[in-house]
Each structure stands twice: as structure tokens, then as C-alpha cells.
Amino acid sequence: MSQTAYINSAILSWSRQRAGLSQEQVAKGLMVKLEKLKEWEDGQSLPSFNQAQKWAALVHVPFGYLFLSTPPPEQLPLPDLRTVGGVFPDKPSLNLMDTVRDVLRKQDWYLEYLQDHERSALSFVGSFSIRSPIKEVVADIRRVLGVTDSFARMSYEDYVRALVSGAEEAGILVMRSGVALGNTHRKLDVSEFRGFAISHPMAPVVFINSADAPTARLFTLMHELAHIWIGSTGVSDGSSQGARQEEAFCNAVAGEFLAPEDDFRAHWNSALHWEENLAPLAGRFRVSTLVIARRARDLGHISSEQYGAYYRRVLQEYRDKGGSGGDYYRVAAIRNSTRLSKAVLAEAQSGRILLRDAGKLLGVQPAKLKTYGMKLSA
């Protein structure tokens, strides 16, 4: 007979709600009757030890939490720069919390790695402020990322890859994922956040929520990089209505970087329907039509309602396409940052970190690490 788990029924309800799951979903996941689960949450009966362990795994909490007398205090470990309709959100989701913690864990490892190898600080981190001229910030980002005239001849996809590569070569870890902790059942919510930046003089990180439409991620990348240049850390939702000065400044930097205002205004044709301007300008600036629509909104050529409707249409088209998860190794490199991955693999190859620990850090099966390293070097 299985041993009874003398857990706190109030913690059961808290942990389920924290995970955003209904009683029906948890009952199905545990393969128990709904009535039985309700009895547990009401304190009328107790689950077995095995059932309690499965509960903890299902709602993503440590098993020991179920025995606490009260829920543990939790808060986002980064400054929250998000606003929804001008109002600060009540609390972050579990998926966002776990994503931020995972990125901070990787950054901590990388920082220790850099210190062991006596690497120096990066001069561009925090080299400007929100009072700096936007064009000067843009010029410095271009310099550090190695943007040259040749970028003007690149396709949109190659342009994005070149910018990410430039950021990583400069010392910035660029991580992108649309799910929490590599779990495809834990999709990140674009309406909650689009990205975040962790400014650090040696190990800066930007994270992009790739559940967003691919054409929107480029703006988020540049927005988060702007945070690094002003030494600002925080979670962003990309709103133009934000109450935070640094958010407005980073939006302005991203917009100027991708589509300089003077050039944009000179080529915007007000005689055309606004959507007819998108494709020609997208081609001119090597960005997506969505970036052009956003820039047009920010510069007053279209309304927030027009842009919002266009963005929702683009996002829905992306979601409707669906598709597979992509190549295992390519996804791992995107999720972890190529720079971090190479550092971890080098330490594993030298024996300074166990393959098991390297795999756990990167979310890659230890048996696949060798192939992963070969793919990154190809």
C-alpha cells in the first residue's frame, strides 16, 4: 500500500493555480477522478506519496513545497519594465519566472568562466544613458556590431543572423526561445513579454521571446541591445505606451537603428494607402514590413489602432503556419547562445566540467554534446 503524503491542501491549490492549470487538467495529468482531486484540495483526504510527487512535477514546484505551511514569497528576479495599457502587471507567470531563472543560472556560470579566464569588462556596456543623443547610441551599436555597407546588400534573414552574430562576437549572449526550459508544452506568452536584458560589464545577456512573429523579433533584439548600451536590466513588453523612460528610449534607439527617421520620412509616400508603403520601405531598410509599420506608428504616419491590427494579423498568420520544432542542434544553439554553448563545450572537453553537468546547463542530452559541438564548429 502506498504511503500517504501529509501535505498542505492549501499549497496544492496554490501550486495548481500558480501553474495556470485547472482542476480538470491536473486530474487528467495524474489520472485520478476529478472528485478525488477536489477532496485533496479541500483537505478532505490526502494523496499518496507517489501522487504528491507527480503533482509537484506536473505543476513545476519542488516536492518539498507541498509540505510548507504557507506559499513561499516569489517575485521576478529582474526589474519589471512592462506595462499593459499603462498599468503595471500584477505578477509574472510561472513560465516567465522559470525562463528568467534559467537565463540567470547560465549567466552565472558564464561569468565564473570569464573570471577564471581573466577576461576584461566590455567598454560599451552602460556607456550611454537615456539622456544621450539617440543617433550617437545607434552609431556606437553599429560600430560594436560591425555593421558595414555590405549589410545593405543582405537579405532579411542574413541581416538578422549578421546582427546576432555581431552581438555575440562583441561578448553579448543572445538567447531566443518560445518555450520555458525547452518544454514545448510550456509556451511563452507574447502578450506577457517580448524579451529581457541583463546588463553586466562582463556577461551581458539579451533574451528574445521567439513565440512572437519572426518579423517582430528583430525590433525586440535591437530594443534589448539598447538596454545593454545604457546599462539597464529588465523585462520588456515592447509597448510604445510604456510609462518607463528607459523603455521609450530603447524603442527610439531600435527604431532609429533599423529605419533612420530622416531617410524614412523622405521615402514615405502619404499619397498611397499606408500599407502600400510597407513593402518598398522594408526592402530599402532590409527589415520586415512589420518593423516598417511600427516605425510608421512611432513617427505618426499611422495610428496605434492601425498598427495593432496589422501586428495581430501578422502574428496570427505565423501561428496558423505551425510547423515542426526544427533541427535539434540548431534550436539548442539559438536557445542557449552560440557563445555560451562553445564555452560550456570547451570546458566539458577539457574535463573541467562533467558531461552530465554540461548537458544539464545547456538542456542537451549528454550523449549528443559531441555532435552538438561539431555542428557549432561547422
Query: What CATH number should be reported for the domain holding residue 15?
Result: 1.10.260
Residues 152 and 230 in one domain: yes
Residue 72 lies in a domain: no
Residues 158 and 252 in one domain: yes
Q: What is the rounded distance in angstroms from the CA atom of residue 228 to the CA atom of residue 251?
A: 13
Q: CB neighbours (10 Å) of residue 39?
A: 16
Residues 233 and 316 in one domain: no
pLDDT for 86 equals 52
Q: What is the rounded distance in angstroms from the CA atom of residue 162 to the CA atom of residue 145?
A: 9
Residues 17 and 102 in one domain: no
Residue 46 lies in a domain: yes
Q: For residue 4, list its beta bridge partners.
A: 48
State pTM to two decimals. 0.89
Please give the tally of structural domains in the chain.
4
Residues 124 and 252 in one domain: yes
Residues 224 and 245 in one domain: yes
The domain of 168 spans: 83-109+119-258
All 3 cell numbers of residue 226?
539598447
Residue 4 lies in a domain: no
Residues 149 and 244 in one domain: yes
- Measured between its terminal Cα atoms, the distance across the chain in Å is 55
Residues 53 and 127 in one domain: no
Q: What is the rounded distance in angstroms from the CA atom of residue 232 to the CA atom of residue 195?
A: 13
Q: What is the rounded distance in angstroms from the CA atom of residue 186 to the CA atom of residue 121?
A: 35
Residue 3 lies in a domain: no
| Segment-wise mean pLDDT, segments of 10 residues, the chain, 378 residues | 85 90 94 95 94 94 92 85 61 90 96 94 97 98 95 90 97 97 90 94 97 94 97 85 80 96 97 96 94 96 95 92 79 96 96 95 95 91
Residues 254 and 265 in one domain: no
pLDDT for 90 equals 64
CA R_g for the chain: 23
Give, in degrees to the nearest 5, the angle at Cα 283 between 278 and 287.
Answer: 80
Residues 103 and 220 in one domain: yes
Residues 221 and 124 in one domain: yes
CA distances from 336 to 122, 189, 343 (A): 20, 19, 11
